[in-house]
């Protein structure tokens, strides 16, 4: 099957507006041809002057101005058509991608990174709009301009015309070297480095609370610094690679005068005629159009490659399969959770190692369980599968005896609430952030949820209470954000709760408040807690120790301590760390 070009893909988003795009090409091409007409009238003026005849100099001048005006008018109309079509295409493209992203499993969005996705969507729609609105009409004009120029160059004096074409051919050859397949690969590398740097920048900004808490420097965020260094090295190397070709290209397209002067010297050995002088002056006047046209074509070729690369990245997002909707929708009988031989592996795992390898467990309704273990053991992945951020490669996850893939997405989301260590708050008021849990709730219900989440002190210090907009001059600490997120979960009032390191960024005072808020929220619900602070899970009904994607131990805290296994070692290490002091 023949691969679609970037332009054909873009026009699929245009609908009936694509005819405006076609119209812009025709008008731009006509404008470019008419723009050459004034040169003929100027030649007639110079002919009358050199021939010392009265002629119709004023008339030719008026005709030249009228031709230039018509050319400009047609170009403006062409741009109006192209902009109307480009805006519609960019809008439809953005809507299509955003709609698809909204249908993807949350795990895919997390793995791609919000910074990368945002940059891809913005760059693709922005590049498409610029390309369609400006560059494509100009490209139509740039294509027909050489045809008109070729006619003008050969009609007046074929020998001088061929001399003028020599640097054009040389320039095209050099341009082909700079804008071929190798250039496409370079554009791809450039966009990859920008995506990586954008993504790492977002993650770095999100991690600033940790930097402030532990006094780290920017060098602690090695991936961010490495992405900047890699971009710098690539840019410098690429600039050096193009230095000589670009010098040669610029010299060639701007060296038309040198060819003409040498040709004139050769052709006028036997004397200069009025006719030759007239033609020579005409060629001197029109040759700058050649260099301008070639430069336009070169930059258009580069921009076209940028658009193709942006579309390939958009297509990569669109190729992700959306979260499947249940074909045989089933009801939930209760709020117990069961995992049967669950296996999951991340696609980017270089060692082909399963993040979860044959996990089986059952959590009774109303019970509180805890997942503990070394970092990278699979605890958060396990929680992500229960919330259906991903689907397992094999095995199944059940709620109330029903496979979660058979539960309608809306019902599943209403059944589970989760509070993660990096809880996300939108740039809006406290009220709007909490209402995300249940948009139809009343203001009184929101205030009750905030009170149960121990947020009274937060509301009191804000200038406009729950109507205070955060993220614009007013910011909350990590622990305060967690309590707002818990208030959101309280308002949602789901029967299953998942807490993944909910106290990770909290100071001692905030940790006590967050724990009290969790206690208020967890009453009578099925609760899963993930924590490195082992004191937070000591009262759990069952503690599962997850290591290397497997459950290595399970039981109550006293049973695990008696086993003398990994949990006992983790507990002793934790107690030692808590008691450690600087002297």
Residues 303 and 371 in one domain: no
pLDDT digits (tens, 9 = 90+) for 73-99: 999 999 999 888 888 888 888 888 888
**DSSP per-residue codes, 382-432:** HHHHHTTSS--SEEEEEETTEEGGGS-HHHHHHHEEEEETT----SSBHHH
Q: How far apart are CA 558 and CA 535, in angstroms?
A: 13
When pLDDT is averaged across residues 197-213 and rounded to a whole number, the result is 60
* Confidence (pLDDT) at 566: 86
Residues 153 and 283 in one domain: yes
Instruction: Decide if 329 is inside a domain.
Output: no
What is the chain's mean pLDDT, rounded? Answer: 78
Comparing CA positions, the residue from 331, 342, 365, 338 lying closest to residue 496 is: 365
Taking 60 as the threshold, does the pLDDT of residue 216 lie above it? no
**Where residue 179 falls among pLDDT bands split at 50, 70, 90?**
low
More confident: 183 or 469: 469
* Confidence (pLDDT) at 213: 45
Residues 14 and 153 in one domain: yes
**Where residue 117 falls among pLDDT bands split at 50, 70, 90?**
confident
- Looking up residue 535, the CATH number of its domain turns out to be 3.40.50.300
Instruction: Decide if 331 is inside a domain.
Output: no
Instruction: Decide if 559 is inside a domain.
Output: yes
Count, residues in the chain? 583
Q: How far apart are CA 134 and CA 157, in angstroms?
A: 35
Rounded alpha-carbon distances, angstroms, from residue 419 to 210, 497, 558: 19, 8, 27
Residues 48 and 126 in one domain: yes
Strand partners, 286: none
- Looking up residue 189, the CATH number of its domain turns out to be 1.20.1560.10
Residues 300 and 387 in one domain: no
Residues 298 and 343 in one domain: no
* Confidence (pLDDT) at 408: 84
Strand partners, 103: none
Residues 182 and 240 in one domain: yes
Containing domain of residue 455, as a range? 337-579
237 contacts: CB under 8 Å, gap ≥ 6: none
* Residue owning tokens 């020579």: 280
Residues 172 and 89 in one domain: yes
**CA 376 distance to own-chain centroid:** 27
Instruction: Decide if 324 is inside a domain.
Output: no
* Confidence (pLDDT) at 114: 67
pLDDT digits (tens, 9 = 90+) for 492-511: 888 898 888 765 555 566 56
Instruction: Decide if 330 is inside a domain.
Output: no
* Confidence (pLDDT) at 74: 93
* Residue owning tokens 């040498």: 262
What's the number of CA atoms in the CB half-sphere (13 Å) around residue 100? 15
* Confidence (pLDDT) at 98: 86
3-class DSSP string for 28-97 = HHHHHHHCCHHHHHHHHHHHHHHCCCCCCHHHHHHHHHHHHHHHHHHHHHHHHHHHHHHHHHHHHHHHHH
**Where residue 18 falls among pLDDT bands split at 50, 70, 90?**
confident
Is residue 106 helix, strand or coil?
A: helix
Residues 344 and 277 in one domain: no
Residues 299 and 391 in one domain: no
When pLDDT is averaged across residues 406-414 and rounded to a whole number, the result is 84
**Where residue 215 falls among pLDDT bands split at 50, 70, 90?**
very low
**How many structural domains compose the chain?**
2
* Confidence (pLDDT) at 503: 59
The last residue of one of the domains, among 289, 318, 347, is 318
pLDDT digits (tens, 9 = 90+) for 260-300: 777 777 777 666 667 777 777 777 777 777 767 767 776 66
* Confidence (pLDDT) at 350: 47
């Amino acid at each position: 099957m023949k691969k679609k070009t970037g332009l054909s893909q873009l026009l699929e988003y245009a609908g009936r507006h694509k005819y405006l795009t076609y119209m812009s090409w025709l008008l731009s091409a006509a404008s470019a041809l008419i723009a050459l007409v004034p040169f003929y009238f100027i030649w007639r003026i110079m002919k009358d002057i050199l021939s010392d005849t009265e002629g119709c100099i004023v008339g030719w001048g008026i005709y030249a101005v009228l031709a230039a005006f018509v050319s400009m008018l047609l170009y403006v109309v062409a741009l109006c058509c192209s902009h109307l079509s480009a805006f519609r295409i960019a809008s439809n493209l953005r809507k299509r991608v955003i709609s698809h992203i909204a249908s993807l499993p949350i795990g895919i969005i997390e793995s791609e990174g919000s910074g990368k996705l945002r940059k891809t969507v913005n760059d693709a729609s922005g590049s498409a709009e610029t390309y369609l609105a400006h560059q494509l009409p100009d490209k139509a004009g740039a294509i027909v301009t050489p045809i008109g120029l070729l006619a003008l160059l050969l009609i007046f004096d074929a020998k001088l015309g061929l001399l003028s074409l020599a640097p054009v051919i040389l320039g095209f050859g050099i341009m082909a070297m700079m804008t071929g397949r190798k250039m496409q690969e370079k554009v791809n590398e450039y966009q990859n480095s920008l995506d990586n740097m954008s993504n790492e920048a977002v993650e770095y900004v999100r991690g600033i609370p940790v930097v402030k808490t532990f006094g780290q420097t920017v060098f602690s965020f090695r991936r961010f610094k490495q992405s900047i260094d890699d971009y710098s090295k690539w840019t410098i190397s690429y600039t050096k690679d193009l230095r000589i070709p670009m010098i040669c290209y610029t010299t060639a397209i701007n060296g038309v005068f040198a060819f003409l002067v040498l040709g004139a010297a050769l052709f006028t050995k036997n004397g200069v005629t009025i006719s030759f002088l007239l033609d020579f002056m005409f060629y001197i006047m029109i040759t700058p159009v050649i260099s301008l046209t070639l430069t336009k074509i070169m930059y258009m070729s580069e921009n076209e490659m940028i658009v193709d690369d942006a579309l390939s990245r958009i297509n990569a997002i669109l190729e992700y399969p959306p979260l499947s909707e249940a074909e045989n929708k089933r009801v939930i009988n209760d709020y117990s959770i069961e995992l049967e031989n669950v296996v999951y592996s991340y696609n980017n795992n270089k060692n082909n190692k399963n993040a979860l390898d044959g996990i089986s467990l059952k959590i009774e309704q109303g019970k509180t369980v805890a997942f503990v273990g070394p970092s990278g053991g699979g605890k958060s992945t396990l929680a992500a599968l229960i919330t259906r951020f991903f689907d397992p490669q094999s095995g199944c996850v059940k709620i109330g005896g029903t496979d979660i893939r058979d539960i309608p997405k809306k019902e599943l989301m209403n059944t589970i609430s989760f509070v993660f260590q990096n809880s996300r708050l939108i740039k809006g008021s406290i009220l709007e952030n909490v209402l995300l849990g249940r948009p139809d709730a009343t203001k009184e219900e929101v205030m009750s949820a905030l009170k149960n989440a121990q947020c009274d002190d937060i509301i009191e210090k804000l200038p406009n209470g729950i109507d205070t907009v955060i993220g614009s001059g007013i910011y909350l600490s990590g622990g305060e954000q967690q309590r707002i997120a818990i208030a959101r979960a309280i308002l949602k009032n789901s029967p299953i709760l998942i807490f993944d390191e909910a106290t990770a960024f909290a100071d001692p005072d905030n940790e006590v408040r967050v724990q009290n808020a969790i206690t208020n929220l967890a009453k009578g619900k099925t609760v899963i807690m993930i924590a490195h602070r082992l004191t937070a899970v000591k009262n759990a009904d069952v503690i599962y120790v997850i290591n290397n994607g497997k459950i290595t131990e399970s039981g109550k805290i006293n049973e695990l301590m008696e086993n003398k296994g990994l949990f006992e070692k983790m507990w002793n290490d934790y107690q030692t760390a808590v008691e450690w002091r600087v002297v």
